[in-house]
Amino acid sequence: MPQNVPWFVRARLKTRQLMLLIAIDEEGNIHRAAESLAMSQPAASKLLKDLEEMIGVPLFERLPRGMSPTWYGETMIRHARIALASLGEAGAEIEALKGGYAGSVSIGAIAGPAMSLLPTALARVAKEHPDLRVSLLVESSDVLLERLEQNRIDFLVGRMFEGHDKRHLHYQALAEEEICAIARPGHPILALESIDLAELARGSWIVPPEGSVLRHRFELMFRGAGLQPPKQVLSTTSLVFISKMLQESDYMAVVPVDVARHYARHDMVRIVPVELSCRMDSFGLITRTDWLLSPGARVVLQALQEAATEVYGTPPAA
């Protein structure tokens, strides 16, 4: 076979081999990986051996209690996930077109823009492309970036931080996100003439989970003033739970301003009149540079870019 033919053609690479790589990585054991793919262990071992011989490098390190991918293996596993996800997307798009739909798009967003940006953009998409099916996941940036890496969402509106691997990501800044405190109407703290950090530290709070950037900056705000952070805290990102819990207790919550304004407009909460120094970094549109967006995803992305110009005054994307 000519040498200019791609290696995977010369190797007669099988989708079963790609599936096996992912299964071994997830199971840590070729026996359990083979079981998950409904094949025998000898057959799985031969598939892996053939692939390693063709590539010329070991993909897994054989350990006493299982298998761990080598650097070569991690590279193959990452691209195997991309290849299989792409084939899955192709099948889903074809089925959608056969069913009379324009395709499906899955996007992610953090809470603030989910309240302020997404409704404007998605309403426009629904009007102009009624057959396009869109699903939205509202989560933290860390969770959404993991979903993006796993090809479970097409793109997201969120943040990238210093520790994130940015090699295959493109970031278009949209806006900064302000943070505020909210409480139920009639909360005792709203009756105070002036509110300081010492008073806030004595309160009960609903905060993001430990490890999140906002949680860290919220606690740092008190420590920087020589105070201990609030001791009575509930950790969650569920806006439904937060709004209900505030109505039935004297808890306060730290949330993006866009979220606070939404619930305040419906008379469910009041914004506590105090400025918090735990500001968040800017957020933006995050797409992958090693992944081609479907026509439907490009439609939704463009709608978000146009809506961002109206909502945040963001310059139009190049």
pLDDT higher than threshold 70 for residue 23: yes
Indicate where the chain has its CATH 3.40.190.10 domain(s): 103-176+282-312, 179-275
Contact 237, 230 (CB under 8 A): no
- C-alpha closest to that of 275 among 199, 220, 196, 206: 196
pLDDT higher than threshold 60 for residue 101: no
pLDDT of 180 reads 94
Q: What is the pTM of this model?
A: 0.64
Render pLDDT for 232-270 as a digit per residue (tens, 0 to 9): 999 998 889 999 999 999 999 999 998 999 999 999 999
CATH number given to 179-275: 3.40.190.10
* Amino acid, res. 215: R
Indicate where the chain has its CATH 1.10.10.10 domain(s): 15-97
Matching CATH number, 15-97, of 3.30.1440.10, 1.10.287.3510, 3.40.50.970, 1.10.10.10: 1.10.10.10
Spell out the SS3 assignment of 175-225: ECCCEEEEECCCCHHHHCCCCCHHHHHCCEEEECCCCCHHHHHHHHHHHHC
Render pLDDT for 133-188 as a digit per residue (tens, 0 to 9): 899 999 989 899 999 988 889 999 999 877 677 788 999 999 988 899 999 999 99
* Amino acid, res. 65: R
Pairing of strands 283-288, 169-175: antiparallel
Coil, helix or strand at residue 255: strand
pLDDT higher than threshold 80 for residue 202: yes
Q: Model confidence at 66, in pLDDT bands (50, 70, 90)?
A: confident
Phi, psi of 156 (to 5 degrees): -150, 165
Please report the beta strands in the chain, taking only residues with DSSP state E, as ranges in sequence order.
60-63, 66-69, 103-109, 132-138, 155-158, 169-175, 179-183, 204-207, 233-235, 251-256, 270-271, 283-288
pLDDT of 317 reads 64
Q: CA-to-CA distance for 236 and 288, rounded, in angstroms?
A: 29
Contact 144, 110 (CB under 8 A): yes
Contact 160, 286 (CB under 8 A): yes
Render pLDDT for 114-134 as a digit per residue (tens, 0 to 9): 989 999 999 999 999 888 889
CATH topology of domain 103-176+282-312: D-Maltodextrin-Binding Protein; domain 2 (3.40.190)
Q: Once rounded to an integer, what is the mean pLDDT over residues 69-88?
A: 86
